[in-house]
Amino acid sequence: MRLGINIDHVATIRNARGGNQPSPVKAAEIAANAGADGITAHLREDRRHISDIDIKALKESIELPLNLEIAPTDEMLSIALEARPERVCLVPEKRLEITTEGGLDIKNIEDKKKYFIQKIIKECTNSNIDVSLFIDPNLDQINAAIEIGTNIIELHTGEYCNSVNTIKELDRINKAAKYATDNNIETHAGHGLNFDNVIDIAKISYIKELNIGHFLIGESIFMGLEGAVKKMRNIIDDCK
């Protein structure tokens, strides 16, 4: 199972004061040395953490694959085509949300938006950029994602992480990951994962990649980023 480290909140801390410290590129390098398989960064429309310059600097400096999270908009598509990350992950974005609150509602999407997502998939694929769709662990959403033409999805684990009935939520994720895999869709997962709740998710062999950010950046205050990433890496590896 690959581990992608989301470094958005290194930029959040930097932006609290302005200036250049702490550096998302340095965080990506430390994460790489600690066993990460990829770096994830979300360029939000309001640029509240990661900036356009960060994306350029990450692409130029890091050796690991870059997973660029973007909302499906014209502006973000042209940034992605220019930046050439290894992968684009399409996420829904609401301006006032604190974090990505749910997956893309591909099932109920209007035709115009659906065609636009198909255009993103086509143009990115032509530029050798993989495209994944961030969706809720729901079979209808997976069917809609298949229909739209993706071959990678990321399952939103937020409800599982916040739920008191984790068994029910875990079952939903397990069934969704199996269903997607059976339909030749590579399955990733992420959002809200920490050292404890990652264990049951990492045991789901259908999931090929986890993307984890906020908890690890917070924990690195206490144990260092290298220590936090290594610990997460070990927990995930022990679940094999």
Choice from 191, 202, 233, 236 touching ligand PXP (CB under 6 A): 191
Whole-angstrom Cα distance, residue 124 to residue 14? 30
Judged by CB under 6 A, which stretch of 139-147, 173-181, 210-218, 231-239 contacts ligand PXP? 210-218
What is the size of the binding site for ligand PXP (CB under 6 A)? Answer: 19
Choice from 130, 154, 159, 209 touching ligand PXP (CB under 6 A): 154
Burial class (CB in 10 A: 0-12, 13-18, 19+), 112: exposed
Whole-angstrom Cα distance, residue 211 to residue 111? 29
Cβ-Cβ contacts under 8 Å for 126 (sequence gap 6 or more): none
Nearer to ligand PXP, 19 or 186 (CB): 186
Q: How far is the CB of 116 from ligand PXP (least distance, A)?
A: 18
Of the CA atoms within 13 Å of residue 93, those in its CB half-sphere come to 17
Q: Which of 42, 49, 156, 188 is catalytic?
A: 42
> Does 86 participate in catalysis according to the annotation?
no
Q: How far is the CB of 189 from ligand PXP (least distance, A)?
A: 8
Would you say 236 and 188 are in contact if contact means Cβ atoms under 8 Å apart? no
Nearer to ligand PXP, 9 or 77 (CB): 9
Determine if 30 is a binding residue for ligand PXP (CB under 6 A).
no
Regarding beta strands 207-212 and 186-190, do their DSSP bridges make them parallel or antiparallel, or are they unpaired? Answer: parallel
Q: Which of 9, 49, 69, 93 is catalytic?
A: 69
Nearer to ligand PXP, 59 or 214 (CB): 214
> Does 191 participate in catalysis according to the annotation?
yes
Choice from 27, 30, 36, 89 touching ligand PXP (CB under 6 A): 89
28's tokens: 């990506």
62's tokens: 């890091």
> Does 49 participate in catalysis according to the annotation?
no
Rounded to 5 degrees, φ, ψ at 101 are -80, -25
Helix (H) or strand (E) holding 186: strand 186-190
Interaction site with ligand PXP (CB under 6 A): 6, 8, 42, 69, 89, 91, 99-100, 134, 154, 190-193, 211-215
